[in-house]
């Protein structure tokens, strides 16, 4: 990203330590016309991965219906191709898509300054401190 480019966040943490509140409950939600840049980028990821999922899920079935002889007479690792693609390709494809989604979502969160941490480590340590006599420290 060049110095002139800036991305508007939708309520994430600002550099000065304050945050901006975005009221999503009053905004009209539309999957085809998202309200914020983050929502637009997130939906781009979702729709793209959905299209790939459709190919992984329905591709082997459609290929078997169109080219039955090829899909049933071709053997890979001792299995008919249509069975191998359906039994192994679809579940493995779903796992790969989950990993890609998590990676893309982490990139989006970093890009828009979204932090999912609820408490810092020092706050957690301070709240769980125990006195030497076994009781909780005030």
Instruction: Give one DSSP letter per residue of 61-110, joined into a string.
Output: HHHHHHSHHHHHH-EETTEEHHHHIIIIIHHHHHHHHHHHHHHHHHHHHH
- Overall number of domains in the chain: 1
Q: What is the pLDDT of residues 13-35, one digit of tens each?
A: 455 555 556 555 566 677 777 77
Considering the domain boundaries, does residue 94 fall inside one? yes
Considering the domain boundaries, does residue 108 fall inside one? yes
Considering the domain boundaries, does residue 123 fall inside one? no
What's the pLDDT score for residue 25?
57
**Model confidence at 38: pLDDT above 90:** no
Considering the domain boundaries, does residue 79 fall inside one? yes
Query: Would you state the structure tokens that stand for residue 16, as one six-digit string?
Result: 């000065």
Of these ranges, 7-16, 50-59, 112-121, 124-133, the one predicted with the greatest mean pLDDT is 50-59
Considering the domain boundaries, does residue 98 fall inside one? yes
**Model confidence at 11: pLDDT above 70:** no
What's the pLDDT score for residue 126?
58
Q: How many whole angstroms separate alpha carbon 135 and alpha carbon 77?
A: 63
Q: Over range 52-58, report the average pLDDT.
A: 93
Q: What is the pLDDT of residues 66-113, one digit of tens each?
A: 999 999 999 999 999 999 999 998 899 999 999 999 999 999 998 888
Considering the domain boundaries, does residue 43 fall inside one? no
pLDDT band, residue 117 (cuts 50/70/90): confident
Query: Would you state the structure tokens that stand for residue 20, as one six-digit string?
Result: 């901006």
Considering the domain boundaries, does residue 72 fall inside one? yes
Query: Would you state the structure tokens that stand for residue 15, as one six-digit string?
Result: 């550099």
What's the pLDDT score for residue 6?
57
**pTM assigned to the model:** 0.63
Containing structural domain, residue 70 = 56-113
- If one counts every other C-beta atom within 10 angstroms of the C-beta of residue 112, the result is 19
What's the pLDDT score for residue 16?
56
């Amino acid at each position: 990203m060049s110095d002139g480019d800036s991305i508007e966040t939708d309520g994430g943490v600002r550099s000065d330590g304050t945050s901006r509140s975005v009221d999503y409950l009053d905004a009209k939600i539309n999957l085809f016309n998202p309200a914020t840049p983050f929502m637009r980028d997130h939906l781009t990821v979702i729709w793209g991965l959905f299209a790939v999922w459709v190919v992984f899920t329905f591709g082997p079935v459609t290929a078997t219906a169109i080219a039955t002889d090829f899909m049933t007479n071709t053997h890979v690792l001792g299995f008919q191709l249509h069975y191998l693609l359906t039994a192994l390709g679809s579940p493995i494809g779903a796992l790969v898509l989950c990993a890609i989604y998590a990676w893309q979502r982490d990139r989006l969160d970093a890009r828009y300054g979204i932090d999912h941490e609820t408490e810092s480590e020092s706050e957690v340590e301070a709240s769980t401190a125990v006195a030497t006599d076994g009781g909780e420290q005030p």
